[in-house]
Structures are given as C-alpha cells and as structure tokens.
Amino acid sequence: MNDNFKSGFITIIGRPNTGKSTFLNHVIGQKIAIMSDKRQTTRNRIQGVLTSTDSQLVFIDTPGIHKPKHRLGDFMVKSAQDTLNEVDAVLFMVNANEGYGKGDQYILDLLQQVNRPVFLVINKIDLVHPDELLPLIDQYRNKYDFEAVFPISALNGNNVSSLIKELKSYIPEGPQYYPDDYVTDHPERFIISELIREKVLQLTREEVPHSIAVIIENLEERESGSIFIQASIVTERKTQKGIIIGKQGAMLKNIGQKARSDIEALLGSKVYLDLWVKVQKDWRNKQSQLQEFGYRSDEY
C-alpha cells in the first residue's frame, strides 16, 4: 500500500430527487443504489466504496431530507442527519433544474452545526442553460460558506472526476478499510430487493406511491448454477396491488423481466425470479413491520 495512503468517509446529503443515488452509482461504476425520478427513493444509508492506488473514499448516500409524514419518514430523515457527525466531508447536492427551495434552507441550518468541510454540488447541469448557473451558485454561497462549488452532471459524468480529485485532498491519511474489490456494505439480498423496488417505482409511475417494500423470501443456488429468488412486493392497499400486478399480470411480468436483468448483472449468474404481491395495511407506521423490512427500531 502507498505510504501516504488516504482514506475517509463522505456523506451525500440533499433534498429528495437531487440525483444522489445516480452520483453514487456513477462514482462506484455499478448500480448499488436505486434510481428513480420519484422523490424519497433511498430509504437506507447506502455505503459505496471507491478504491484506487492512493486512496479509499467511502461514500454514504442518504435518504433525501424532507418533512416526515409517518414513522418510515422519521427513520429516513434521522438516518440522513446522523451521518453528518460521522464523516470527513459532506457533499450538499442540489438540483440545478429546481433551484433553491425551502427544503434547502432546512439542510443549510443543519450544516451550520457541522464542523466538517462542506462542498456544494450542483447536479443536473445538463438540464439548464450555463447562464443560469452563476446566479444559482451566488444564491447558495450567500447562505453558507462552502469549501468549494462543483457543477456536475451525475448522469453524464461531467466534472465528477474533478470533484473526486478535490475530495482526495481533504481526506486524512489512513488505512484501507475494505478490500480492493469491495463496493458496498450492503448484503446481496438488500441490493436485490432494492433493484426490484426500483422497477416498481419506475414502471408504475405516479400510480403507486412509496408505500411499497420488497422482501426476499428465498434465495438459493440451484445445481445448474442458476439462482432462484422468491420475493414479495408489499403494499398498503388492494388497489395498489392491482396496479402492480396489472392486466393479466402484464405489469408484474414487466417488473420481473427488468429486475432480473439487473440482478443477473449483479450476480453474474442466470436468475429465476418469482414475484408475489402482498397487502399489509399501513405498514409504514407499524414498528414491528418496519423492523421486519430492515429499518432498525433505534433509528426511528
């Protein structure tokens, strides 16, 4: 290992739908966080690891900070806030296409209490005219003394490498926490469930809100080398169940086909995916079910 090897933890924080997960996936080079243009997609802190010859950057993708409406929302916001005191640097990501909003001020107030370098990352610059960027940068700079400002496109990769280079100059010398080929701290079951949930969100659009969870009921390798996965999509209402299944099962089949493609890329094996849809009324406000779905009771 390099004698001057650096390692550090960086949290990505921002309002919902600013592209935090897209950024993390681009940096890591594979999909570990689900992407959707629906708000509040990320529910758990997802840790992504970028290792090079001279450094290891551990990124924490947090749920978008928003006003909670249920126990699950409380968990998501607390999860994001807690990371601010655990890291070496903070990326405050905003959406260039939406501009400054009330939710940003709430986060900026939180950041005033953080004794860490904070970078303003203006994402989705591919969606705005360059002339709109300078006034937007000035608006945010007037509200907080950022260490630096990086306009980027996480989708296209614009300026992302410059941001990574700058981050390396801020993190301390330290050990390599994870092996070279390690990209995330989440087990395969979690990532598989998130890939399935992503397809539900993408394909059902506004018809099904974020009242769904995915549970991996069974995961086993067959003698042929293929992997059998049985998963349940849990929703809160019968009407939502009908939408997810679709006419003659067409929607569920489409969800399964698209999810299977991503899961096979993740696992490097042929996958047989068996999807079921269940209704569990008001699960987002029930502590026992939140724990069953992976949200620890000490976090909400």
Counting the structural domains of the chain, the total is: 2
Is the same domain home to 46 and 17? yes
Is 159 labeled as ligand-binding?
no
Give the side-chain half-sphere CA count within 13 A for 286.
10
Is the same domain home to 142 and 217? no
pLDDT, position 40: 43
Give the side-chain half-sphere CA count within 13 A for 211.
24
Is 126 labeled as ligand-binding?
yes
Domain containing residue 21: 6-170
- Range with lowest mean pLDDT among 100-104, 241-245, 274-278: 100-104
User: What CATH number should be reported for the domain holding residue 230?
Assistant: 3.30.300.20
Q: Does the structure show a pLDDT above 80 at 82?
A: no
pLDDT, position 41: 46
Is 151 labeled as ligand-binding?
no
Question: What are 144's two structure tokens?
Answer: 């907080």
Is 61 labeled as ligand-binding?
yes
Is 124 labeled as ligand-binding?
yes
Per the domain annotation, does 219 fall within a domain?
yes
Is 135 labeled as ligand-binding?
no
Is 62 labeled as ligand-binding?
yes
Is 63 labeled as ligand-binding?
yes
Is 238 labeled as ligand-binding?
no
Per-residue pLDDT, averaged over 155-162, amounts to 93
pLDDT, position 4: 86
pLDDT tens digits, one per residue of 183-234: 776 667 777 888 888 888 888 866 665 667 888 888 887 878 788 989 988 8
Is 82 labeled as ligand-binding?
no
Is 184 labeled as ligand-binding?
no
Q: Does the structure show a pLDDT above 50 at 66?
A: no
Give pTM, 2 decimals: 0.62
Is the same domain home to 166 and 208? no
